[in-house]
Amino acid sequence: MKDIKVVELASVLAGPLAGNLFSELGAQVIKIENKRTEGDITRRWRTASEDSNSAVSSYYAAANYKKEVLMADLSLENDRAVVMQLIEAADVVISNFKRSSAVKLGFGYEQLRKVNPRAIIAELVGYKHDANKAAFDVLLQAETGYLSMTGHEGQPFAKIPVAMIDVLAAHQLRTGIMTALFLRERDGQGRRVEVDLYGSALSGLINQASAYLMNGDVAGPMGSQHPSIAPYGEVFVSADGVPMVLAVGTDEQFASLMDILGIAVEKEQWGTNALRVRHRSSLSKVLTEAISHFTFENLAAALAQRGVPCAKVSSIDEALEGEEARENILSFEQEGREAKVVKSVTFQLSSERAQKD
């Protein structure tokens, strides 16, 4: 990827996350930030504990690994000319302008295509049919059903605590760019990649969407439970106060679980997954009582031995301090601050020759 040059005209999260894929893979990513607004707004999205004088927030660092930053005012002819010169030599241009703003500034698709016909022009908008409408993650979570399904029944709706719609859109954008680059290797042609956050959000509904489209089922808040599997995701508490979840996906796993807990399987109520989903409430009460008599360590060991999946509910600090997490953390210096972030790229590529060696 070191020969790939990306010009990023995007701010906040989805666009920068797409650019982050390329910077982590070793490409040159030049991030153009608005000089008039003192750069990407996420520079100032700090947690309560962060230094207010730092030019880089932890939020900003999360999506801007080792990018070359150029502050520019695109309304100024000289700054615009500098950026256009970079675009002339770019393989990929990523933007999240409103369409009207992009054209006004001279960075609309047709304008960029004239400057560099071989470039992959990747455009991110909020809504396909109203590209000038501003889009924010929480609004999209509300509009596309996520908030209505998140939380617990009878309690206020809960937002997914990361900008999940932006993450989904970033994955769509990355896939589109990679596909366009692959096709360009075949025919030498530049392409346009268009991604809208609304469509990306709908794509993430997967089985909940098909359950409605095919069955008329309207999902509601279920906490951590699964609409189609039981017991799967519900939180139980062990004798030593450890919260844990089960992921029982087969009848064999369920039989092993009940055997370990010393509970007789009532086949007319719990003999199949369909029955367990139907009688979820009664099953939950029995499991809650039984699990409360086991320490987590002893129960987890017994479940692992019988192939019944379970996990402790870890806090984010516990998750990131774990040994397996270490190889997924990047440390780097960013504008005078040590930045630590999780990797965007977790896949590994190796040739057949490398594997033989």
Which residues participate in catalysis according to the annotation?
Answer: 166
Q: Which residues contact 187 (CB under 8 A, 6 or more apart)?
A: none
Phi first, then psi: give them for residue 66, nearest 5 degrees. Answer: 50, 40
Tell me the CA distances in angstroms from 16 to 124, 169, 302, one per residue in order: 11, 11, 44
Q: Are strands 232-237 and 243-247 parallel, antiparallel or unpaired?
A: antiparallel
Q: Which residues contact 229 (CB under 8 A, 6 or more apart)?
A: 248, 249, 273, 277
Q: Which residues contact 155 (CB under 8 A, 6 or more apart)?
A: 221
Residue 71 bridge partners (DSSP): 33
CA 300 to CA 309: how far, in whole Å? Answer: 9
